[in-house]
């Protein structure tokens, strides 16, 4: 009930969507378990997929496809007018749709037994910490945790509070301070050339990381306060030495979802190199489209698809690690310009003007002071040191004394108070 109040506080009318999707998948799951008839099982699965993707497609992509359908006919000499709808995109629909779909798909594949506990299932779909921006949880991990009696665990809560503080630091100190410079440049790209565009792309690379990973940390930490363990969603992605490695570290819950429910069902790497490359490209194109109804996201997805195909061919040699890390970071940074561009025309301008120099100088002082610019670089340096430190404990638990927990959380809270930007700044992934 609390999760429904949390979601309904934004717009109570959209509660009907999440409730209806939950009802459909709850009953589909039960019916899938009752029959062994292939045809009936496929029809039940298609019912779940059709309803869930139908809602997502209508609210997120109707106007996009209507507009492009109109453009396509105009290209061939036929003038048609398609209707546009003034549709509000429900917050979190891309996340909870994939979450509830994975439940029925796993039951269909007989990887999961359906639950008859309706309250637990509805709570699993609407669990408030990760409802609006992930991580996209699997029923195999999160759902069984609702069956257990809730017993407060002080150690888990202390650890959770530290994770929340780190997430808040990433969001309000790093991401939101970077946002001012990034938004100023990208929302008026035609007024800038050269270095300001490069710096804005560099800063957006860290803004989107700190914004999205920050939310994930806050969600994971909040869940721990209630005794729940959510999956890791980021694992220091900018320390990757290959593009396949990057996607094993970035938005892990989404990339693993597309791997398990799109790439592998398409055939994965089982039918030769050509089919493997085709499956990779399709998966990344769909991943790009998942992010939004804009051709820039499709181009971004296709670019990462080709980069992953190239990365697979090159392999991941152990030598020259720092050089490969730098190369992956630089290329990934420039792909974020595709992601952040407001339109294809803006993207074309950005690409053609990256290397031009004009009166705005090295950093575009008309948009930011030297002091603020240096402060942003210091924030990024702190993040880099923290990621390197955390990565050293990637495969082992970092055990801290209570004194160290208090010390670190105190430093983070003071830093948030002193350097945080508290102007209204939504999480970037709320728009998806």
Q: What is the mean pLDDT of residues 400-426?
A: 85
pLDDT at 69: 60
Phi-psi region of 292 (alpha: psi -120 to 50; beta: other; left: phi over 0): left
**Cα 324 from Cα 314, distance rounded (Å):** 11
What is the per-residue pLDDT across 144-187, written as a single tens digit (0 to 9) for each?
999 988 889 888 899 899 999 999 999 999 999 999 999 989 99
Cis bond upstream, residue 135 (ω within 30): yes
What is the per-residue pLDDT across 262-304, written as a single tens digit (0 to 9) for each?
999 999 888 888 899 999 999 999 999 998 888 899 999 999 9
pLDDT at 281: 95
Structure tokens at 1: 């009930």
Confidence check: pLDDT of 49 > 90: yes
Structure tokens at 131: 């409802």
pLDDT at 311: 87
Task: Compute the C-alpha angle 96/101/103, nearest 5°.
Answer: 105
Nearest to 228, CA basis, from 151, 126, 162? 151
Burial class (CB in 10 A: 0-12, 13-18, 19+), 248: middle
DSSP 127: -
Percent of the chain at pLDDT above 90?
58
Annotated active-site positions, please?
Answer: 291
What is the per-residue pLDDT across 19-38, written as a single tens digit (0 to 9) for each?
999 999 999 999 998 888 99
Give me the residue spans of the domains in the chain. Answer: 2-146, 154-241+316-431
Three-state SS letters, 323-364: HHHHHHHHHHHHHHHHHHCCCHHHHHHHHHHCCCCCCCCCCC
């Amino acid at each position: 009930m609390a999760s429904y109040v949390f979601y309904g506080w934004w717009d109570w009318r959209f509660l009907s969507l999440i409730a209806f999707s939950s009802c459909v998948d709850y009953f589909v799951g039960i019916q899938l378990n009752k029959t062994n008839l292939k045809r009936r099982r496929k029809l039940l699965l298609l019912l779940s997929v059709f309803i869930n993707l139908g809602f997502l497609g209508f609210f997120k992509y109707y106007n996009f496809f209507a507009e492009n359908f109109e453009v396509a006919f105009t290209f061939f000499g036929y003038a048609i007018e398609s209707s546009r709808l003034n549709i509000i995109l429900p917050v979190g629909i891309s996340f909870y749709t994939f979450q509830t779909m994975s439940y029925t798909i796993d039951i269909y594949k007989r990887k999961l037994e359906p639950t008859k506990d309706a309250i637990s299932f509805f709570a699993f779909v609407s669990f408030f910490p990760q409802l609006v921006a992930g991580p996209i949880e699997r029923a195999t991990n999160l759902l069984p945790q609702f069956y257990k009696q809730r017993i407060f665990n002080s150690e888990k809560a202390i650890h959770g509070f530290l994770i929340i503080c780190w997430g808040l630091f990433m969001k309000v100190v790093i991401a939101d301070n970077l946002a001012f410079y990034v938004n100023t440049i990208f929302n008026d790209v035609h007024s800038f050339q050269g270095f300001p565009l490069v710096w804005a792309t560099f800063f957006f690379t860290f803004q989107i990381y700190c914004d999205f990973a920050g939310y994930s940390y806050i969600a994971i930490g909040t869940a721990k306060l209630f005794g729940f363990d959510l999956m890791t969603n980021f694992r220091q992605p900018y320390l990757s030495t290959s593009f396949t490695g990057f996607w094993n570290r970035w938005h892990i819950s989404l990339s693993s979802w597309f791997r398990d429910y799109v790439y592998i069902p398409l055939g994965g790497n089982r039918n030769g190199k050509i089919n493997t490359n085709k499956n990779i490209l399709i998966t990344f194109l769909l991943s790009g489209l998942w992010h939004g109804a804009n051709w820039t996201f499709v181009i971004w997805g296709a670019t990462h698809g080709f980069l992953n195909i190239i990365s697979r061919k090159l392999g991941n040699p152990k030598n020259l690690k720092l050089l490969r890390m730098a190369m992956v970071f630089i290329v990934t940074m420039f792909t974020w310009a595709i992601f952040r561009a407001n339109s294809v025309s803006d993207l074309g301008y950005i690409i053609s003007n990256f290397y031009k120099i004009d009166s705005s100088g090295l950093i575009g002082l008309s948009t930011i002071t030297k002091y603020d610019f240096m402060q942003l670089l210091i924030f990024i340096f702190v993040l880099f040191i923290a990621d390197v430190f955390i990565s050293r404990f990637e495969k082992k638990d970092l055990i801290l004394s209570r004194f160290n927990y208090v010390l670190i959380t105190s430093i983070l809270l003071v830093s948030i108070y002193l350097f945080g930007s508290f102007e209204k700044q939504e999480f970037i992934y709320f728009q998806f």
